[in-house]
Amino acid sequence: MSALHEFDLIFFGATGDLALRKLLPALYYAFRDNGQPAGWRILGLARRPLSRDEYLAMLGDSCRRFIPATDLDDATWGQFCARIDYLPVDGTDPAGFAALTGWFEHCAGRVRVFYLSTAARLFGPICEGLARHGLVTPLTRVVLEKPLGHDYASSEAINAAVGAIFAENQIFRIDHYLGKEPVQNLLALRFGNSIFEPLWNRGSVRDVQITIAEQVGVEGRGEYYDPSGALRDMVQSHMLQLLCILAMEPPTSIDADAVRDEKLKVLRALRPINAANVKEKTVRGQYRAGAVAGKPVPGYLEEPGIPPDSRTETYVAIKAEIDNWRWSGVPFFLRTGKRLPERMAEIVVNFRPVPHAILPPSPAAGEPNRLVIRLQPDEGVKLFLLVKVPGEGMKVKPVALDLDFAETFKHRQWEAYERLLTEVIQGNLTLFMRRDELAAAWRWIDPILDGWRALDEPPKPYTAGTWGPAAASALILRDGLALREEA
């Protein structure tokens, strides 16, 4: 990790689940691996009237649950906590910002990062409060957690409010999937290896499948999840970002705007899905009671905080198409859902079969080569090739060339937020969404939502612990293909 010597990192929403479970543990690892630098200052802000010691006790309890005991060194933890302060501040109360000014005395020349882990409706007021009290400097950066709005109009309103205070190169719109090691390896795989580029097009690729499957339900987050649903929560951000990295043209460099320019072109080339074709191109589902990992689980409508007549989708499958020369005619199947049989995120690139079969007919002989990029839980890359089974005849079977990251690289893998926080502090915007990217994503998503409303149909039920509604399989079967469901 590059040295991170001096900065101030201020968390709004410091008592929330994200800060305690992900952000502060990620900072602990960064602190440990940077040699416990003395120039770090971390400030937690939240409405809860806690003393600094009370907050550190809360943080300690949380980190002991989410950091393995073998990684928690008492001396290092003590040094880390010495860099942390806490102030009870309400982001909607001007008096709270006044209390902040004293904390920044004599620190005008340091990198200053405000991480807004709050409801998105507070992003504008918080930024305005920071500016009003003189807390924004040329070295200040602001991090915005998703979701940034619930549609194009609300997203633009938030971006306009934040953009009135901060320049675009000071705004870091975070999507934690972009910090995952296999997502970084997508860039290396595509643009660091000459063998793939000649095949990365409609002539060689038959179809692409992107899956993000969760075993969990709403996990007590019903009040947040129900107004959002799977399309807003997962597709608009994580899945479209994966699609962009997978499908974009080679950028001129790895610089932030060069990469984001190419991602934007993909979003703008997505074929519209609207009321005219939404039933043909999408499937939405909602889980019913069932069993996951051998344990009974309630249906979505029985979850706490969910209205008994909710039509919110917990599963969505989409056939996306990109109207450009590279990908014309190649379907990109996106699917994500809760209460599925396993927790996994992966990308499958299915290549076209050989143009003329010379091997004896068999089920395996007709299987195409495929590249499987596993993002979680076991990060790695597999390239499936057909090879001859030892023995008489020409019986073949698919065998994987397997790159297991944990096995290949013996050191600890960075967590996504560890990388992203490091990139923010260093001012690198490559892994963050630009405003026009976000706008283009919402412009594609909004007509799907409008189309569903026009259909006025409830989501299709599926039993918890299965791979979603049968209609999702039919969506891809219409192209003579099948979804990959094995581990």
By annotation, the residues acting in catalysis are 238
In this structure, are residues 368 and 480 in contact, taking their beta carbons and an 8 Å threshold? no
Residues in a beta bridge with 459:
none
| C-alpha distance from residue 187 to each of 107, 182, 209 (Å) | 37, 9, 18
What DSSP assignment string belongs to 17-44? HHIIIIIHHHHHHHHHHTT--TTEEEEE
Q: What are phi and psi of 261, to 5 degrees?
A: -60, -40
DSSP state of 70: G
Residues in a beta bridge with 382:
372, 402
Angle at CA 249, nearest 5°, toward 245 and 254?
A: 70
Helix (H, G, I), strand (E, B) or coil at 265: helix
Instruction: Using alpha carbons, select from 159, 87, 170 the residue that is nearest to residue 123.
Output: 159
Which residue has tokens 């198409």? Answer: 321
Which residue has tokens 């950091």? Answer: 67
Pairing between β-strand 171-173 and β-strand 7-12 as defined by DSSP bridges: unpaired
